[in-house]
Protein backbone atom coordinates (compact mmCIF):
# COMPACT_ATOMS: atom_id res chain seq x y z
CA UNK A 1 0.00 0.00 0.00
CA UNK A 2 1.37 3.39 -0.99
CA UNK A 3 -0.28 6.46 0.49
CA UNK A 4 1.16 9.95 0.29
CA UNK A 5 0.64 12.01 3.41
CA UNK A 6 2.22 14.92 5.23
CA UNK A 7 4.88 13.97 7.79
CA UNK A 8 6.33 17.36 8.74
CA UNK A 9 4.85 18.29 12.16
CA UNK A 10 5.11 22.04 11.60
CA UNK A 11 3.44 21.77 8.21
CA UNK A 12 0.63 19.64 9.66
CA UNK A 13 -0.05 22.12 12.45
CA UNK A 14 0.09 25.16 10.19
CA UNK A 15 -2.28 23.60 7.66
CA UNK A 16 -4.63 22.49 10.43
CA UNK A 17 -4.98 26.01 11.75
CA UNK A 18 -5.21 27.51 8.28
CA UNK A 19 -8.24 25.29 7.70
CA UNK A 20 -9.68 26.05 11.12
CA UNK A 21 -9.48 29.79 10.46
CA UNK A 22 -11.14 29.30 7.08
CA UNK A 23 -13.98 27.17 8.47
CA UNK A 24 -14.64 28.86 11.83
CA UNK A 25 -16.44 32.13 12.52
CA UNK A 26 -13.96 33.96 14.74
CA UNK A 27 -15.19 37.49 14.10
CA UNK A 28 -16.61 38.03 17.59
CA UNK A 29 -13.42 37.00 19.42
CA UNK A 30 -10.29 39.03 20.16
CA UNK A 31 -6.77 37.79 19.39
CA UNK A 32 -6.25 35.68 22.51
CA UNK A 33 -9.81 34.37 22.53
CA UNK A 34 -9.34 33.24 18.94
CA UNK A 35 -6.34 31.15 19.99
CA UNK A 36 -8.44 29.38 22.62
CA UNK A 37 -11.38 28.83 20.28
CA UNK A 38 -9.15 27.43 17.54
CA UNK A 39 -7.56 24.98 19.99
CA UNK A 40 -11.02 23.85 21.06
CA UNK A 41 -12.06 23.36 17.43
CA UNK A 42 -8.80 21.51 16.78
CA UNK A 43 -9.54 19.17 19.70
CA UNK A 44 -13.04 18.20 18.57
CA UNK A 45 -12.80 18.66 14.80
CA UNK A 46 -16.06 20.60 14.70
CA UNK A 47 -15.81 24.29 13.66
CA UNK A 48 -19.42 24.95 14.67
CA UNK A 49 -18.53 24.40 18.33
CA UNK A 50 -17.08 27.91 18.39
CA UNK A 51 -20.63 29.26 18.75
CA UNK A 52 -20.87 27.70 22.22
CA UNK A 53 -17.62 29.05 23.65
CA UNK A 54 -18.01 31.79 26.27
CA UNK A 55 -15.41 34.10 27.82
CA UNK A 56 -15.92 36.37 30.81
CA UNK A 57 -14.71 39.92 30.21
CA UNK A 58 -11.20 39.44 31.59
CA UNK A 59 -10.78 35.68 31.26
CA UNK A 60 -7.81 35.50 28.92
CA UNK A 61 -6.02 38.45 30.51
CA UNK A 62 -6.41 37.04 34.01
CA UNK A 63 -5.41 33.53 32.96
CA UNK A 64 -2.36 34.71 31.06
CA UNK A 65 -1.23 36.91 33.94
CA UNK A 66 -1.59 34.06 36.43
CA UNK A 67 0.17 31.52 34.23
CA UNK A 68 2.95 34.04 33.52
CA UNK A 69 3.66 34.02 37.25
CA UNK A 70 3.65 30.22 37.59
CA UNK A 71 0.21 30.02 39.15
CA UNK A 72 -0.99 26.69 40.48
CA UNK A 73 -2.93 24.70 37.87
CA UNK A 74 -5.66 22.59 39.47
CA UNK A 75 -7.19 19.77 37.40
CA UNK A 76 -10.21 17.61 38.09
CA UNK A 77 -8.82 14.44 36.48
CA UNK A 78 -5.47 12.97 35.49
CA UNK A 79 -6.33 13.16 31.78
CA UNK A 80 -6.58 16.94 32.04
CA UNK A 81 -3.35 17.09 34.03
CA UNK A 82 -1.51 15.01 31.44
CA UNK A 83 -2.88 17.18 28.64
CA UNK A 84 -1.17 20.36 29.89
CA UNK A 85 1.96 20.88 27.79
CA UNK A 86 4.86 20.28 30.16
CA UNK A 87 7.43 22.35 28.28
CA UNK A 88 5.37 25.44 28.96
CA UNK A 89 5.13 25.17 32.75
CA UNK A 90 7.68 25.19 35.55
CA UNK A 91 5.75 23.01 37.99
CA UNK A 92 3.38 20.09 37.38
CA UNK A 93 -0.38 20.68 37.64
CA UNK A 94 -2.15 19.27 40.68
CA UNK A 95 -4.90 16.64 40.67
CA UNK A 96 -6.23 15.09 43.87
CA UNK A 97 -8.75 12.66 42.44
CA UNK A 98 -6.60 9.66 43.37
CA UNK A 99 -5.49 11.08 46.69
CA UNK A 100 -6.57 8.64 49.46
CA UNK A 101 -8.08 11.57 51.35
CA UNK A 102 -10.49 12.21 48.49
CA UNK A 103 -11.78 8.65 48.61
CA UNK A 104 -12.24 8.87 52.38
CA UNK A 105 -14.06 12.21 52.21
CA UNK A 106 -16.29 10.97 49.39
CA UNK A 107 -17.25 7.85 51.32
CA UNK A 108 -18.03 9.81 54.48
CA UNK A 109 -20.16 12.37 52.64
CA UNK A 110 -21.77 9.98 50.16
CA UNK A 111 -20.62 12.09 47.20
CA UNK A 112 -18.35 11.76 44.19
CA UNK A 113 -14.58 11.61 44.55
CA UNK A 114 -14.42 14.56 42.17
CA UNK A 115 -16.36 16.67 44.67
CA UNK A 116 -14.17 15.54 47.54
CA UNK A 117 -11.00 16.22 45.56
CA UNK A 118 -12.08 19.82 45.00
CA UNK A 119 -12.24 20.24 48.79
CA UNK A 120 -8.51 19.48 48.81
CA UNK A 121 -7.89 22.47 46.53
CA UNK A 122 -8.78 25.03 49.21
CA UNK A 123 -5.26 26.08 50.20
CA UNK A 124 -4.21 26.44 46.56
CA UNK A 125 -7.28 28.12 45.09
CA UNK A 126 -6.26 31.77 45.45
CA UNK A 127 -4.92 33.04 42.13
CA UNK A 128 -4.87 29.57 40.57
CA UNK A 129 -6.01 28.40 37.16
CA UNK A 130 -8.66 25.69 37.55
CA UNK A 131 -9.17 23.31 34.63
CA UNK A 132 -12.26 21.06 34.81
CA UNK A 133 -12.85 18.81 31.82
CA UNK A 134 -14.60 15.72 33.09
CA UNK A 135 -16.67 16.06 36.25
CA UNK A 136 -19.72 18.33 36.43
CA UNK A 137 -19.89 17.65 40.17
CA UNK A 138 -16.41 19.16 40.55
CA UNK A 139 -17.58 22.37 38.91
CA UNK A 140 -20.78 22.48 40.97
CA UNK A 141 -18.77 21.98 44.19
CA UNK A 142 -16.22 24.65 43.27
CA UNK A 143 -18.97 27.20 42.68
CA UNK A 144 -20.57 26.27 46.00
CA UNK A 145 -17.26 26.76 47.78
CA UNK A 146 -16.65 30.16 46.22
CA UNK A 147 -20.18 31.26 47.05
CA UNK A 148 -19.50 30.33 50.68
CA UNK A 149 -16.29 32.36 50.82
CA UNK A 150 -13.49 30.19 49.45
CA UNK A 151 -10.61 31.99 47.75
CA UNK A 152 -11.11 32.74 44.07
CA UNK A 153 -9.04 31.33 41.24
CA UNK A 154 -7.62 33.73 38.66
CA UNK A 155 -9.48 31.71 36.02
CA UNK A 156 -11.85 28.76 35.81
CA UNK A 157 -11.75 26.76 32.58
CA UNK A 158 -14.96 24.80 33.03
CA UNK A 159 -15.68 22.33 30.25
CA UNK A 160 -16.97 19.04 31.70
CA UNK A 161 -18.46 16.65 29.16
CA UNK A 162 -21.47 14.37 29.38
CA UNK A 163 -25.20 13.96 29.76
CA UNK A 164 -25.83 14.26 33.51
CA UNK A 165 -25.06 17.68 34.89
CA UNK A 166 -22.49 18.74 32.30
CA UNK A 167 -24.58 21.31 30.46
CA UNK A 168 -26.19 22.44 33.70
CA UNK A 169 -22.90 22.97 35.53
CA UNK A 170 -21.46 25.06 32.69
CA UNK A 171 -24.61 27.11 32.35
CA UNK A 172 -24.49 27.79 36.09
CA UNK A 173 -20.86 28.88 35.82
CA UNK A 174 -21.79 31.30 33.07
CA UNK A 175 -24.87 32.55 34.88
CA UNK A 176 -23.16 33.30 38.21
CA UNK A 177 -19.61 34.27 37.24
CA UNK A 178 -20.28 37.99 37.48
CA UNK A 179 -22.15 37.64 40.76
CA UNK A 180 -19.27 35.63 42.25
CA UNK A 181 -16.60 37.86 40.73
CA UNK A 182 -14.76 35.12 38.86
CA UNK A 183 -13.24 34.94 35.40
CA UNK A 184 -14.13 31.91 33.31
CA UNK A 185 -13.99 30.20 29.95
CA UNK A 186 -16.63 27.61 29.21
CA UNK A 187 -18.16 25.57 26.42
CA UNK A 188 -21.91 25.45 26.78
CA UNK A 189 -23.92 22.29 26.14
CA UNK A 190 -22.94 18.65 26.52
CA UNK A 191 -19.64 18.88 24.63
CA UNK A 192 -16.34 19.33 26.42
CA UNK A 193 -13.82 16.95 27.89
CA UNK A 194 -10.25 16.59 29.04
CA UNK A 195 -8.67 17.33 25.67
CA UNK A 196 -10.77 20.47 25.13
CA UNK A 197 -10.14 21.90 28.58
CA UNK A 198 -6.41 21.15 28.53
CA UNK A 199 -6.15 22.62 25.03
CA UNK A 200 -7.76 25.84 26.30
CA UNK A 201 -5.13 26.15 29.01
CA UNK A 202 -2.39 25.33 26.52
CA UNK A 203 -3.65 28.07 24.22
CA UNK A 204 -3.09 30.65 26.96
CA UNK A 205 0.36 29.23 27.68
CA UNK A 206 1.19 29.54 23.98
CA UNK A 207 0.06 33.17 23.98
CA UNK A 208 2.58 33.89 26.74
CA UNK A 209 5.30 32.56 24.44
CA UNK A 210 4.05 34.42 21.40
CA UNK A 211 2.92 31.24 19.63
CA UNK A 212 -0.07 32.53 17.69
CA UNK A 213 -1.86 30.95 14.74
Phi, psi of 3 (to 5 degrees): -130, 130
Looking at 39, 42, 177, 206, which residue is catalytic?
42
107 burial (CB, 10 Å; 0-12 / 13-18 / 19+) is: exposed
R_g of the chain computed on alpha carbons: 17
3-state secondary structure of 50: helix
- 42 classed as catalytic: yes
How many residues are recorded in the chain?
213
174 burial (CB, 10 Å; 0-12 / 13-18 / 19+) is: middle
Question: Whole-angstrom Cα distance, residue 93 to residue 81?
Answer: 6
The dihedral built from the CA positions of residue 129, 199, 118 and 105, taken in this order, carries a sign that is negative
**Proportion of the chain in helix, strand, coil states, percent, rounded to 5:** 55, 10, 35
Enzyme catalytic residues: 42
Amino acid sequence: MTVKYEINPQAIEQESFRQIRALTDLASFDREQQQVVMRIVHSVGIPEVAKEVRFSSGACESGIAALSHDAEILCDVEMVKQGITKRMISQPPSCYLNDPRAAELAKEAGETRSMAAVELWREKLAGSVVVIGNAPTALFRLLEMIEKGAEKPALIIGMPVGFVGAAESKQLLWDVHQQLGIECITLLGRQGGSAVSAASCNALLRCIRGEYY
